[in-house]
Amino acid sequence: MDNHCIACNNGFFLERETGKCQPNVSANCLTPDIESPNCLVCSDGYFLYEGICSFYSIQNCSVKDSEQDKCLLCHDGFYLNGLGSCERYTVKHCKIKDPNANLCRECSPGFFRDPTGVCGKYTVKNCNVYNNYTDQCLSCLPGHYKDSRNDCVKYNNLQNCETADPSKDACMSCKSGYYNDFGICRQYSVANCALYKPDADLCTTCKNGYFLFVYTCEPYTVRCEQYKLTENKCLSCPEGYYLDEGICYVNNGLFCKELSPFRNGCESCVDGFYLDNGQCKIREHSNNCKEAFDTADLCKSCFDTHYIAGGMCISYALETCKTFNVQKDLCMECETGKYWMSHHVCEPYTVDHCEVFDPNADKCTQCEVGKWYLDTSTGVCLESTEVDKCKLYSNTQDACSECEDLYYLVSGSECRRNPSGLFKCIQYKDENTCVKCETGFYLENNYCQKSKVVISNCANYSGEALCESCESTHLLLENLCVEKIETSCATWVDGENCLTCPSNQVIKTNEDSKKVCEDSGLDSCVEAEAGSVANICLKCGDKKLLNNGICVDPTSPLNGCKVYAKEGECSECDDGYTLTKSNNGCVSNFSLMSANCAAGMEKSSPVCHSCMSGYHLDDNRECLKCGGEGCNVCDPYDSTKCIYCMIGYDHDGSSCTKTAADVSKSNRMSDNFKSGFMMKGIFMMIASFMMTYLA
């Protein structure tokens, strides 16, 4: 009888080789295999691995892997790490979390996500739109602006504002009826105005029935202060009107200091304007006047920083002058590298980056040190072609002349690093030649040698046991670096003794028998020396007189004297004064030199060197009338000719004649004056003319 089983009971499986039922040994199995000891489906909480049910160790997992001890999806509040385990999120204030990392994808309102995936709190108050990734505000709430610190600040000056500046507390455009006054909207206030000047409370067009008068609107009514009824005419007008054939008309004279009562114009003008045929015209040529003519655009006198020429005040251009002689009112030397001198006037170079300029050839002869070289054919400075690692460029050709440390020059166009390098060499002449060693080494036979004898505090050596320079705190004395123990010196004998002292100090021997510097104790002294009994002053400050080694006030002070030679004698005057011939005083009233003199100087005696308008200097330094009747500005080359006439005269080419009846067609200037000769050439011409007397 066949002893094989066909089907086994639950909990057993059929062993086909023997036909026997064997117990299923897989624990926690929900569905065992009927033909093997393996499990097909495990109970909840277990996973199937090679037919055996194993316990899940992963905590906080929502969806587990059915074939291994790993999680596929974690519970809320946990994320899946790279090992298949669930870890708790530590990121706070997160709206949408990353399921596979402890990072936030989207933060909660009021927080931003930084580059590390962490949520930070926004700190900018009154912000409307934030940056998603930084604590920065993109736009502020209405009524606020974003300042330079990224803060939203409340506007304070936006009343009646149409458009505000987004970066500061200011308005850009105002509402109708208001004008912008440097960011603040102010209401227009001119009555009966139809159209205003932009951004100003000034009217440009009036309403019907009104006329414009100095940016205000006045009614079209005949105003009369005194009226004669029998003749039906006005005898006198109120202020602001002028009388013409018995009728009062509005006086439209602008910039008047005093309006004319008899014509549409002015009697006198406000500062900055001059009177020309009843009209006030802006001064274009007399802005630097100390005193100007009321009825011409010309100066009577100038301030100290200007000289008079052709009725105009010309600047000495002190900023371009290196050495200026106050007594002579002349520039003696111009600032080098930018200006050249022509008749004591500093003219700018016409070539950029020029160090030495030839004004006669209008060319540069030497360019600035740096990256500029001279094109000898044109006299122009050209920029050198850039060479990598170049330390200094040639100023005579388009080439490099010196390379940076550790590099050497190849044909002026390449700085090449030494391929092997010489020991401690920092500057090369060529591939194999050293010209400078590191600090602490000296150059000998193309090698950098370290001194076998070390000199304490030596910074640079020139040879074996030879110090070239010491550290800043030490002095080089007889090949030794000596500490500067005494700090009061200007120069030293040795580290503890002074050789010379700073201003108004003297050398004294202290209790240790050392030479030190001490204050002289002399008032107003600028240079002193020690005496056997008392300190002696060698030079006094301004306004003081040197008397027996001390500085005293002069017994009889000289007006305008800056430096005294001795009692009653001056050697240098204050600005605006000139020295007398006998050196016994300083004068500033140039009119004492000659009638109609505008400015003067010291030569063999106080003399005039510039006259008032309408006068010229003769050989005796006297101011004489020139140019004929009605001349205001004379020709400096020919005193019989005039280049600018007085009011009421017409220029006929070389002289002045009475003006025609129609003053609007008058011509007061010569053709040269009109064409710009006066604006540039006349300054140089008159300066040249004056200098012939000053040479």
pLDDT per residue as tens digits for the range 63-121? 777 677 778 888 888 888 877 788 888 788 888 888 778 788 888 888 888 888 888 88
- Secondary structure of 588-633 in HEC code, one letter for each residue: CCHHHCCCCEEEEEECCCEEEEEECCCEEECCCCCEEECCCCCEEE
**What's the pLDDT at 689?**
36
For residues 219 and 357, the model is more confident at: 357
Closest residue by Cα to residue 428 from 414, 184, 670, 332: 414
β-bridge partners, 361: none
CA distance 35 to 246: 140
**What's the pLDDT at 603?**
37
Q: What would the mean pLDDT of 550-564 be, rounded to a whole number?
A: 87
Q: What would the mean pLDDT of 390-403 be, rounded to a whole number?
A: 88
Asked whether the predicted pLDDT for residue 211 surpasses 70, the reply is no
For residues 576 and 514, the model is more confident at: 514
The answer to pTM > 0.75 is no
Residue type, 461: Y
Q: Are strands 306-309 and 312-315 parallel, antiparallel or unpaired?
A: antiparallel
CA distance 641 to 633: 9
Q: What would the mean pLDDT of 620-648 be, rounded to a whole number?
A: 75
- Measure the CA angle with vertex 671, ends 665 and 674; round to 5°: 80
pLDDT confidence bin for 2, thresholds 50/70/90: low
Residue 169 contacts by C-beta under 8 Å, 6 or more apart in sequence?
145, 153, 155, 156, 157, 158, 183
**What's the pLDDT at 679?**
37
Asked whether the predicted pLDDT for residue 550 surpasses 80, the reply is yes
Structure tokens at 444: 């000998």
- What is the average pLDDT score of the chain? 76
Lowest model confidence (mean pLDDT) among 261-270, 361-370, 448-457, 619-628: 619-628
Closest residue by Cα to residue 488 from 472, 508, 469: 508
Cβ distance 334 to 340 under 8 Å?
yes
pLDDT confidence bin for 654, thresholds 50/70/90: confident
CA distance 335 to 358: 15
Sequence-distant contacts of 173-177: CB under 8 A, at least 24 apart:
none
CA distance 629 to 656: 7
CA distance 432 to 422: 8
- Secondary structure of 514-553 in HEC code, one letter for each residue: CEEEEECCCCCEEEEECCCCCCEEEEECCCCEEECCEEEC
Query: How many other CB atoms are found less than 10 A from the CB of residue 268?
Result: 15
Q: Which residue is associated with the tokens 């004929």?
A: 628
DSSP 449-505: EE-SSPPTTEEEEEETTEEEEE-TTEEEETTEEEE----S-SEEEETTEEEE-STTE
**What's the pLDDT at 695?**
33
Query: How many other CB atoms are found less than 10 A from the CB of residue 471?
Result: 13
CA distance 578 to 575: 8
pLDDT per residue as tens digits for the range 459-486? 888 888 888 888 888 888 888 888 888 8
**What's the pLDDT at 595?**
67
For residues 589 and 184, the model is more confident at: 184
